[in-house]
Chain A
């Protein structure tokens, strides 16, 4: 039963992962990614990692993907149908590079899986969960507390960098005299962002039919 579930979920996860890349509409990509995260979470559960599964759903499906959804809705990213031809996309250099990287990673994964010691399958242990919260917490905030803090700093730095880039693209601070740039941060941006435009499934449908 568990083995069948594992293979079933793996196939669904891989198929959904392919769907993320191949789908023409970003919304469908999001839903496919959601499915992938879910399958992964259940696979973690099957392996006995309850905390990992809950964290996977909480962080990836509940927070990060919602952010993606926001961005796609606010930028009104439409259907990419008609913008690419599959043959062109498959033959481009970027695709070849991507395929090569994927093949290399797959090889590494396969080798790692071969060399990894296979644990004894203990159903009772797995049902209770083998990632005991106390152990996770002690490791995370004890032995690995410094890397943990560094990672949070990294995230903060990324956020600041994104803000800086977004500011520069609008270009208020650099064009002003230095004494004004300090107040520019507090002032509202000179050109307010356009209101969220409606998604227009009608338009994309007409494209299909025409």
Chain B
């Protein structure tokens, strides 16, 4: 089979997994919230509400697109795409599983294995900031503008912590290739979460801020800002913002799994079958996704100044010290 065909199939499969997970994450969000609040949640469309995402999609498609008077037309249309596309592109470097062998074809279960995979991921997740900020600005509404400013401020601040924690892992593994980070954990025989507990905690909290999720969802906090940067958006454009948020969550969960929980590795099993490896990766990722939902429906929201204080005065120094100590230990022990 030609390489291009294999690659296209792989890319299609991984995007399918991403979009499918994103669709069912919206259902999971409502089901989990219902479970936590002792309700049923959506249960009318299909068994257990399983077809709810499709019903939602049809509703979004057929709703009327409304743009406020005085909105900047180009930016207003561009912003949802700038929010969704970078989030979807980042999935390209996540290693979903070990080498797949079907017949004669052998290929790695990730769209591309880049030498600078971690950098690529950071670069594109950093671009996700344009969606909220441009959407908020172009809407010509004070709530949207404030939401956009908050989103961008918090994403830029917590990106630093994210990068520093990732660098600690990179220092340990000596590579920016995410697949090699996974194999290095398998070779060491211990997941990075046990070697780098501080970086792990900071990283997970920073992903919540980076994806604008509870308890840091100031970009869209209802009591103050109506809907934040997407107050003025409706129909598919609104759905694109949502898709961007859910894709970012999935990629961040996958990245946390890859960096700290051994990715597609299974403890005490050497060289597992690729189906098992893939399932292990998805299970670990699903665990982090559940954490996103669990936290959203359990913890109260912070205050914005608390969030910024936490980011700059606590997380950044701790992450810096952690990185320094990691570097010192690695260079001393060789």
Contacts and interface: CB of A to CB of B under 8 A. Distances in A.
A66 B125 CA distance: 13
22 contacts: A28-B74, A50-B116, A54-B116, A57-B127, A58-B119, A61-B123, A61-B127, A62-B122, A62-B123, A63-B126, A63-B156, A69-B130, A129-B114, A129-B115, A132-B115, A133-B115, A133-B116, A133-B176, A201-B71, A201-B138, A202-B70, A205-B70
Chain A interface: which size bin? 20 to 34
Contacts of B116: 50-51, 54, 129, 133
Contacts of B145: 73, 196, 198-199
Nearest to A60: B123
B130 A55 contact: no
A73 B149 contact: yes
Contacts of B138: 201
A47 interface: no
A202 B71 CA distance: 8
Contacts of A66: 126, 129-130, 133, 152, 156
A167 B9 CA distance: 58
Chain B interface: which size bin? 20 to 34
B70 A201 contact: yes
Interface of B: 69-72, 74-75, 78, 114-116, 119-120, 122-124, 126-127, 129-130, 133-134, 137-138, 140, 142, 145, 149, 152, 156, 159, 176
A202 B140 contact: yes
A31 interface: yes
A129 B115 CA distance: 8
Given A27-B72, A50-B114, A51-B116, A201 B140 contact: yes
A198 B139 CA distance: 10
B189 to A, nearest CB: 25
Given A57-B127, A63-B126, A69-B152, A198 B140 contact: yes
Contacts of A31: 75, 78
